[in-house]
Amino acid sequence: MKYEQPVGKPFSKQYSSANIYFSLSFFSSSINANTFLSPLCSCQELGTSLNILKQEMKSICGLVVLFFVMLPHAAAYDPLDPTGNITIKWDVVSWTADGYVASVTMSNFQMYRSIVSPGWTLGWQWAKKEVIWSMVGAQTTEQGDCSKFKGNVPHCCLRKPVVVDLLPGVPYNQQFSNCCKAGVVSAWGQDPSSSVSAFQVSVGVAGTSNKTVKLPMNFTLLGPGLGYTCGPAKVVPSTVYLTADHRRKTQALMTWNVTCTYSQFLAAKNPKCCVSFSSFYNQSITPCPKCACGCQNKNNCVVSDSKQAHKKGINTPRKDNVPLLQCTHHMCPIRVHWHVKLNYKDYWRVKIAVTNFNYRMNYTQWTLVAQHPNLNAITQVFSFDYKPLVPYEAINDTGMFYGMKFYNDLLMEAGPQGNVQSEVLLRKNKDTFTFKHGWAFPRKVYFNGDECLLPPPDAYPFLPNSAKVNSITISTMVVSALLFLFIIS
């Protein structure tokens, strides 16, 4: 199969790079240079030319400004997961004397990006002066000032409540379906049954009908860090429920959805992982680029063989999730190493190793996505689970690796146990298979949904070229032949 690089969506149908190029070309061609250079030009012609110049400059400036304004929004588009998002659905299940009871469901429709520990944090702003009387399956981080309420005190009186999931093992009367997982949510492509989190909330001092209810605003989602941008709540057709015997349908009284999308540029200024390469046909190892993930933590890192690395409490996470990295030249929390191990007649073997250099972070339900033209002929994966990702029907060159449950689905913190590895066997396609020009190495690598920084192409392990003639060898042979002729003569 011929490999083709997938192309993402343009920034705009009206203001693409081709349109900007056309505008620049039109600008350069619309002004006649002779008008300015000719001494015989009239003042009227000069004024007309200056007006044209001003109009073209305004047009170009507008296009450039629009281009940069739309750039952050286009960054949220993932070409390998074009429909991936997190959808938060509010179902009003009953009305109360001063409000309603709603079931809130958070569904992760991203194929390979999960929400890891310490879990999600959801916030919003009430449209009026609503309060939360009670919650099941979740809780707010603060109660706020509820002094105006006498007798029955609400669970939260904040105008902008912040909600977190409950921990596993809470009493049954505080649990709700798909709750109490410490906010950890699997990716849809990895485990659909664990890609949902839900809770129930009782809202007071609110509307008591479809016409009087005001939708919450300004939703925010941390998963667990920055990166998600949520749109406004939109009323959608009411959710339909089936009874246990599947013979009766009921529906919510009112439903609205909130869609949140992820952008790696909003999550962090620098990459969170890097990739290194090696092969059996070359003794050199291509390391991760220097300061691949930024060197801002260079003065606060731990040397692997120092006493500090074995100090008690070094693996204790902090509330602000500040990492404590092992001192490396790349200063990345995660390094993915791709090694071309063996070459058979009809197959070739790759070894993939993922190493954690963060002393304060365990990665639960991690995922690794690779884009390689030969993944359409993958034969066996030995120590990881594997699932092909086909965002486009004509291209099957992307696959997701993830840990086997209860075996290596937990990537431990930095140290002797802080790595997972597996080998992959791929069948050769005689029409496209080659080891030349870095073909054996992936085009893109993602860890937990974030794209990793690859080495520059000119640093890849190169294949020795047997057709290349060594000039030193030729000169040695010539000298030896001349010496031989001199001796026998």
> Which region, left, alpha or beta, applies to residue 302 given φ > 0 means left and ψ of -120 to 50 means alpha?
beta
Check whether 446 has a pLDDT greater than 90.
yes
CA distances (Å), origin 106, targets 174, 178, 259, 260, 266? 18, 10, 10, 10, 21
Q: Collapsing DSSP states into helix, strand and coil, what is residue 416? A: coil
Write 292-300 long-range contacts (CB < 8 A, 24+).
292/330, 292/331, 292/332, 292/453, 293/330, 293/331, 293/332, 293/333, 293/453, 294/269, 294/270, 294/331, 295/331, 297/323, 297/325, 297/331, 298/327, 298/331, 300/324
Q: Collapsing DSSP states into helix, strand and coil, what is residue 268? A: coil
pLDDT in tens, 299-322: 889 888 787 777 777 777 776 677
Mean pLDDT for the stretch of residues 223-246: 92
* Domain residue extents for the chain: 86-266, 268-310+321-459
Q: In the structure, what pLDDT confidence band is assigned to residue 475 with cuts at 50, 70 and 90?
A: low
Does residue 195 contact residue 185 with C-beta atoms inside 8 Å?
yes
Helix (H) or strand (E) holding 478: helix 471-488
Alpha carbon of residue 423 to chain centroid: 24
pLDDT in tens, 180-205: 999 999 999 999 999 999 999 999 99
pLDDT in tens, 45-78: 545 555 555 565 555 545 444 444 344 444 467 8
**What is the rounded CA–CA span in Å between residue 194 and residue 183?**
11
Token pair belonging to 183: 């906010």
86-266 and 268-310+321-459 share one fold: yes
CATH 2.60.40.290 fits 86-266, yes or no: yes
Q: In the structure, what pLDDT confidence band is assigned to residue 451 with cuts at 50, 70 and 90?
A: very high
Q: What is the pTM of this model?
A: 0.76
Check whether 137 has a pLDDT greater than 80.
yes
Question: Cβ atoms within 10 A of the Cβ of 460, count?
Answer: 19
pLDDT in tens, 68-106: 434 444 446 788 888 899 999 999 999 999 999 999 999
CATH of 268-310+321-459 among 1.10.10.1150, 3.60.21.10, 3.40.50.970, 2.60.40.290: 2.60.40.290
Does residue 371 contact residue 310 with C-beta atoms inside 8 Å?
no
Alpha carbon of residue 198 to chain centroid: 23
Mean pLDDT for the stretch of residues 270-277: 94
**What is the rounded CA–CA span in Å between residue 105 and residue 177?**
10
Does residue 178 contact residue 196 with C-beta atoms inside 8 Å?
yes
